[in-house]
Structure 1
Protein backbone atom coordinates (compact mmCIF):
# COMPACT_ATOMS: atom_id res chain seq x y z
CA UNK A 1 0.00 0.00 0.00
CA UNK A 2 2.78 2.42 0.92
CA UNK A 3 4.72 1.51 -2.21
CA UNK A 4 1.67 2.21 -4.40
CA UNK A 5 1.04 5.52 -2.65
CA UNK A 6 4.66 6.71 -3.07
CA UNK A 7 4.68 5.67 -6.72
CA UNK A 8 1.45 7.61 -7.37
CA UNK A 9 2.83 10.65 -5.59
CA UNK A 10 6.06 10.53 -7.57
CA UNK A 11 4.12 10.37 -10.84
CA UNK A 12 1.91 13.28 -9.77
CA UNK A 13 4.94 15.36 -8.74
CA UNK A 14 6.68 14.58 -12.03
CA UNK A 15 3.72 15.81 -14.10
CA UNK A 16 3.24 18.83 -11.83
CA UNK A 17 6.88 19.77 -12.34
CA UNK A 18 6.58 19.41 -16.12
CA UNK A 19 3.40 21.49 -16.13
CA UNK A 20 5.04 24.28 -14.09
CA UNK A 21 8.13 24.31 -16.30
CA UNK A 22 6.06 24.51 -19.47
CA UNK A 23 3.49 27.00 -18.19
CA UNK A 24 5.97 29.47 -16.74
CA UNK A 25 8.64 28.72 -19.38
CA UNK A 26 11.33 28.02 -16.80
CA UNK A 27 13.39 26.04 -19.28
CA UNK A 28 14.14 29.13 -21.39
CA UNK A 29 17.03 31.53 -20.75
CA UNK A 30 14.52 34.18 -19.67
CA UNK A 31 13.03 31.82 -17.10
CA UNK A 32 16.44 30.91 -15.74
CA UNK A 33 17.34 34.59 -15.42
CA UNK A 34 14.04 35.20 -13.62
CA UNK A 35 14.89 32.48 -11.12
CA UNK A 36 18.37 33.98 -10.68
CA UNK A 37 16.81 37.43 -10.06
CA UNK A 38 14.55 36.02 -7.35
CA UNK A 39 17.34 34.12 -5.61
CA UNK A 40 19.85 36.97 -5.73
CA UNK A 41 17.19 39.45 -4.61
CA UNK A 42 16.37 37.24 -1.64
CA UNK A 43 20.06 36.95 -0.71
CA UNK A 44 20.51 40.71 -1.09
CA UNK A 45 17.55 41.28 1.20
CA UNK A 46 18.97 38.87 3.78
CA UNK A 47 22.47 40.41 3.69
CA UNK A 48 21.15 43.96 4.03
CA UNK A 49 18.83 42.94 6.86
CA UNK A 50 21.63 41.12 8.66
CA UNK A 51 23.98 44.06 8.20
CA UNK A 52 21.46 46.55 9.55
CA UNK A 53 20.79 44.31 12.55
CA UNK A 54 24.52 43.88 13.18
CA UNK A 55 25.20 47.60 12.94
CA UNK A 56 22.27 48.32 15.23
CA UNK A 57 23.52 45.81 17.80
CA UNK A 58 27.04 47.19 17.60
CA UNK A 59 26.23 50.88 17.95
CA UNK A 60 23.28 51.06 20.32
CA UNK A 61 25.41 50.34 23.35
CA UNK A 62 28.32 52.62 22.55
CA UNK A 63 31.24 50.68 21.14
CA UNK A 64 34.15 50.49 23.50
CA UNK A 65 37.75 50.89 22.39
CA UNK A 66 38.48 47.17 22.19
CA UNK A 67 35.57 46.49 19.83
CA UNK A 68 36.25 49.26 17.31
CA UNK A 69 38.38 46.97 15.13
CA UNK A 70 35.73 44.25 15.22
CA UNK A 71 33.02 46.69 14.12
CA UNK A 72 35.30 48.01 11.37
CA UNK A 73 35.93 44.58 9.87
CA UNK A 74 32.25 43.68 10.16
CA UNK A 75 31.35 46.77 8.15
CA UNK A 76 34.03 45.97 5.55
CA UNK A 77 32.75 42.41 5.14
CA UNK A 78 29.17 43.73 4.98
CA UNK A 79 30.18 46.10 2.18
CA UNK A 80 31.95 43.37 0.22
CA UNK A 81 29.06 40.92 0.55
CA UNK A 82 26.46 43.54 -0.33
CA UNK A 83 28.33 44.84 -3.35
CA UNK A 84 29.00 41.34 -4.70
CA UNK A 85 25.36 40.27 -4.39
CA UNK A 86 24.17 43.63 -5.79
CA UNK A 87 26.38 43.19 -8.86
CA UNK A 88 24.89 39.74 -9.43
CA UNK A 89 21.36 41.09 -8.88
CA UNK A 90 21.72 44.09 -11.19
CA UNK A 91 23.55 42.03 -13.84
CA UNK A 92 20.80 39.44 -13.83
CA UNK A 93 18.14 42.13 -14.19
CA UNK A 94 20.00 43.66 -17.14
CA UNK A 95 20.42 40.25 -18.78
CA UNK A 96 16.74 39.48 -18.18
CA UNK A 97 15.63 42.66 -19.95
CA UNK A 98 18.07 42.08 -22.80
CA UNK A 99 16.77 38.54 -23.25
CA UNK A 100 13.16 39.77 -23.13
CA UNK A 101 13.84 42.45 -25.74
CA UNK A 102 15.77 40.16 -28.08
CA UNK A 103 13.19 37.38 -27.68
CA UNK A 104 10.36 39.53 -29.07
CA UNK A 105 12.11 40.33 -32.37
Structure 2
Protein backbone atom coordinates (compact mmCIF):
# COMPACT_ATOMS: atom_id res chain seq x y z
CA UNK A 1 0.00 0.00 0.00
CA UNK A 2 1.36 3.41 -0.95
CA UNK A 3 -0.36 5.46 1.77
CA UNK A 4 0.87 6.29 5.29
CA UNK A 5 -1.29 8.49 7.52
CA UNK A 6 0.30 11.47 9.26
CA UNK A 7 0.36 12.33 12.97
CA UNK A 8 -2.49 10.68 14.92
CA UNK A 9 -4.45 9.52 11.87
CA UNK A 10 -5.40 5.86 11.29
CA UNK A 11 -6.32 4.09 8.02
CA UNK A 12 -9.13 1.54 8.56
CA UNK A 13 -10.74 -1.10 6.32
CA UNK A 14 -14.39 -1.76 7.16
CA UNK A 15 -15.24 -5.36 8.06
CA UNK A 16 -18.18 -6.70 6.08
CA UNK A 17 -21.26 -7.52 8.13
CA UNK A 18 -23.29 -10.71 7.85
CA UNK A 19 -25.86 -11.07 5.07
CA UNK A 20 -28.26 -12.96 7.34
CA UNK A 21 -29.88 -12.29 10.68
CA UNK A 22 -29.62 -14.78 13.54
CA UNK A 23 -33.06 -16.06 12.52
CA UNK A 24 -31.85 -16.79 8.98
CA UNK A 25 -33.45 -13.86 7.14
CA UNK A 26 -31.37 -12.46 4.28
CA UNK A 27 -30.73 -8.71 4.54
CA UNK A 28 -30.78 -6.88 1.18
CA UNK A 29 -27.91 -4.46 0.40
CA UNK A 30 -30.29 -1.48 0.46
CA UNK A 31 -31.26 -2.20 4.08
CA UNK A 32 -27.74 -2.78 5.43
CA UNK A 33 -26.04 -0.22 7.58
CA UNK A 34 -22.35 0.42 7.13
CA UNK A 35 -20.47 -1.54 9.79
CA UNK A 36 -18.82 0.36 12.63
CA UNK A 37 -16.13 -2.28 12.92
CA UNK A 38 -12.90 -2.42 10.96
CA UNK A 39 -9.30 -3.53 10.70
CA UNK A 40 -6.46 -1.04 11.09
CA UNK A 41 -4.42 -0.97 7.88
CA UNK A 42 -1.87 1.72 8.72
CA UNK A 43 -1.11 4.12 11.59
CA UNK A 44 0.68 7.47 11.73
CA UNK A 45 3.61 8.13 14.06
CA UNK A 46 1.36 9.63 16.76
CA UNK A 47 0.26 12.99 18.15
CA UNK A 48 2.53 15.58 19.73
CA UNK A 49 2.16 17.27 23.10
CA UNK A 50 2.54 21.04 23.40
CA UNK A 51 6.12 20.40 24.53
CA UNK A 52 6.83 18.58 21.24
CA UNK A 53 7.03 15.14 22.85
CA UNK A 54 5.60 12.35 20.70
CA UNK A 55 2.62 10.34 22.04
CA UNK A 56 2.75 6.82 20.56
CA UNK A 57 -0.51 5.51 19.07
CA UNK A 58 -2.50 2.96 21.11
CA UNK A 59 -3.49 0.91 18.02
CA UNK A 60 -1.35 -0.85 15.47
CA UNK A 61 -1.83 -2.35 12.02
CA UNK A 62 -3.95 -5.51 12.16
CA UNK A 63 -6.02 -4.50 15.22
CA UNK A 64 -9.82 -4.89 14.94
CA UNK A 65 -11.49 -1.74 16.19
CA UNK A 66 -14.91 -0.20 16.78
CA UNK A 67 -15.54 3.38 15.69
CA UNK A 68 -18.45 5.81 15.59
CA UNK A 69 -21.03 5.47 12.84
CA UNK A 70 -20.12 8.81 11.27
CA UNK A 71 -16.38 8.73 12.02
CA UNK A 72 -13.70 9.23 9.44
CA UNK A 73 -13.45 10.27 5.83
CA UNK A 74 -13.94 7.74 3.05
CA UNK A 75 -10.98 7.53 0.66
CA UNK A 76 -10.06 5.20 -2.18
CA UNK A 77 -6.50 3.85 -2.10
CA UNK A 78 -5.34 1.35 -4.75
CA UNK A 79 -8.99 0.78 -5.76
CA UNK A 80 -10.06 -0.12 -2.22
CA UNK A 81 -12.48 1.98 -0.17
CA UNK A 82 -10.99 2.79 3.23
CA UNK A 83 -11.58 5.23 6.09
CA UNK A 84 -9.06 7.68 7.45
CA UNK A 85 -9.80 8.97 10.94
CA UNK A 86 -8.17 10.40 14.02
CA UNK A 87 -7.13 7.86 16.61
CA UNK A 88 -9.51 9.56 19.07
CA UNK A 89 -12.46 8.54 16.82
CA UNK A 90 -11.74 4.89 17.63
CA UNK A 91 -13.92 3.70 20.50
CA UNK A 92 -12.00 0.54 21.35
CA UNK A 93 -9.99 -2.47 20.22
CA UNK A 94 -11.75 -5.83 19.83
CA UNK A 95 -9.71 -8.65 21.30
CA UNK A 96 -10.36 -12.09 19.88
CA UNK A 97 -10.90 -14.96 22.34
CA UNK A 98 -7.83 -16.73 20.91
CA UNK A 99 -5.59 -13.71 21.57
CA UNK A 100 -6.97 -13.36 25.10
CA UNK A 101 -6.18 -17.04 25.84
CA UNK A 102 -2.60 -16.66 24.57
CA UNK A 103 -2.05 -13.59 26.77
CA UNK A 104 -3.29 -15.44 29.87
* TM-score, length basis structure 2: 0.22
Q: Which has the higher contact order (CA 8 A, sep 6+)?
A: 1
**Which structure would you say has the larger Rg?**
1
**Structure richer in strand, relative to its length:** 2
* TM-score, length basis structure 1: 0.22
